[in-house]
Amino acid sequence: MKIMIQGTSSSCGKSLTAAALCRIFYKDGYSVCPFKSQNMSLNSFVTIEGYEMGRAQALQAFAANIEPKVYMNPILLKPTTDHKSQVIFMGKPISNMGAKEYFDFKPRLKNKVYEIYKEIEDKYDVVVIEGAGSPAEINLKKDDFVNMGMAELADSNVILVADIDRGGVFAQIYGTYMLLNKKERRRIKGVIINKFRGDKSLLEPGIKMLEELIPVKVIGVVPYFEFNLDDEDSASGFKNFLREGINVAVVRLPKISNFTDFDAFKFEEDVTLKFISRPEEMAGSDMVIIPGSKNTISDLRWLKQKGFEQAIKNFDGIVFGICGGYQMMGKELVDEEGVEVQKGEYEDGLGIFETKTVFLKEKRLERVEGTAFSNRVYGYEIHMGLTVNNKNPFVYLKDRLDGDYKEDRFYGTYVHGIFDSGEFRSYILNKIRRKKGLEEKSSLDLNEIRSRELDRLEEIFRENVDIEYIYSLL
């Protein structure tokens, strides 16, 4: 059995709708697997086997109570510049390609995607398939195996999700439907209107008129709710969380990646989390985080050009670098093999640590676990740089030491998700609370919070969507 979720646009709620259905089918006793043939995202996840996949499908796997596997997202595109992306197939990088080069390459992947999907369908009771962007992107229909092309390969019915919060929801739905051919239209069996605020009764006349214009039933109106679950990519925006107490600022690098590293702070009732683009915005912050980057040298140059270099060195608080941010805090970055910039090109780092990072073509992909200042930490590494001369490593992994720290205020590590650990997050935040005269607190692990949020998502969908009708479509 299978069902496919497509959307009228990016960030309309496809991923969370798929996650909700995975949770519902799992809770109803079925074995469920998410699937998205192709994902474009800088927010990736590392499997236990050391493969890279889209973060959204990992979340959907958690919703289905199964371990994320790379076959759930066979193709991952990670933008490296405005014109090129790293193409990752079954968890491993193939090449960096421009748009035209990739579209010429795509037909070679279609049969492989179909074979992977069929193996999943044979293994699980239900497959929840997610599309990408919109099926009405008529310029991209040739050799499509992501939206209606994937629905055809899987022979699946489709539910269309539309975002009313952006406005123009009826035009979104009608326009999407009318740009499809007759064969594609027949696959759309239901519409979910997502992110609704207000009185549903005011929407009913519009729904009635829409159902008269197109022969598709509106099977649910999902209210606007804040779900602090893993975002697929920056298309969903960088939302600030403003509260009284501690102020955490994340530098919004142009090529920021793996920004779910900061999700755990959203659950701290006394923590403000904000994304900043100018050094002046650091004012009033207690901790500044330099995040990961898909092009570290390019983002380091941006950081300097914006005036962050001196502001970070002079900052009277904690500076925490993760992955690319950690690399930037060192003395020198050298691209010996032309991984990010030209072969042999180098850039002076911020000079906080004595480290030197050399970029090599081999990518490190690994789930890790250990301790930091005697607090449990866990997460994953995903980087192409080798960093040496770290004088004061503070992360003790099973087989090595990681990171560097200085003066009890500068920290750097390769461990993505280090703040997911309730123990380590408490350790860092309580240092700040003591300094500010605030009461110390204990934090929950993000895994526990995620499970609670998925249950809440399931409950809201059961209350507002015709789940029995969806079962009839399987």
Question: Which of the residues are catalytic?
Answer: 323, 416
User: Is the CB of residue 5 less than 8 Å from the CB of residue 21?
Assistant: yes
Question: What phi, psi does 364 have (nearest 5°)?
Answer: -90, 120
Residues 138-173 as b or e (16 or more Cβ within 10 Å = b): eebbeebbbbbbbbebbebbbbbbbbbeeeebbebb
The secondary structure element, H or E, covering residue 4 is: strand 2-7
- Strand 345-348 to strand 332-335: parallel, antiparallel, or no bridges (unpaired)? antiparallel
Amino acid at residue number 87? V
Longest C-alpha distance within the chain, in Å? 70
- Strand 256-257 to strand 271-276: parallel, antiparallel, or no bridges (unpaired)? unpaired
Q: What are the C-alpha distances in Å from 457 to residues 5, 60, 118?
A: 16, 12, 29
Spell out the alpha helix ranges (H) of 124-272: 148-154, 169-178, 182-185, 204-213
Residues 405-421 as b or e (16 or more Cβ within 10 Å = b): beeeebbbbbbbbbbbb
User: Is the CB of residue 402 less than 8 Å from the CB of residue 413?
Assistant: yes
Q: What are the C-alpha distances in Å from 151 to residues 136, 146, 380, 390, 464?
A: 14, 8, 33, 50, 25
Could you give the CA distance from residue 25 to residue 2 in angstroms, rounded to a whole number? 11
Spell out the alpha helix ranges (H) of 267-385: 296-305, 308-313, 324-328
Could you give the CA distance from residue 230 to residue 14 in angstroms, rounded to a whole number? 13
The secondary structure element, H or E, covering residue 375 is: strand 375-388
> Which candidate, 241, 342, 266, 235, places its Cα nearest to that of 297?
342
How many CB atoms sit inside 10 A of residue 245's CB?
A: 17
- Strand 318-322 to strand 410-413: parallel, antiparallel, or no bridges (unpaired)? parallel
Name the 3-class secondary structure at 439.
coil
DSSP 217: -
**Residues 6+ away with beta carbon under 8 Å from 59:** 15, 19, 229, 230, 450
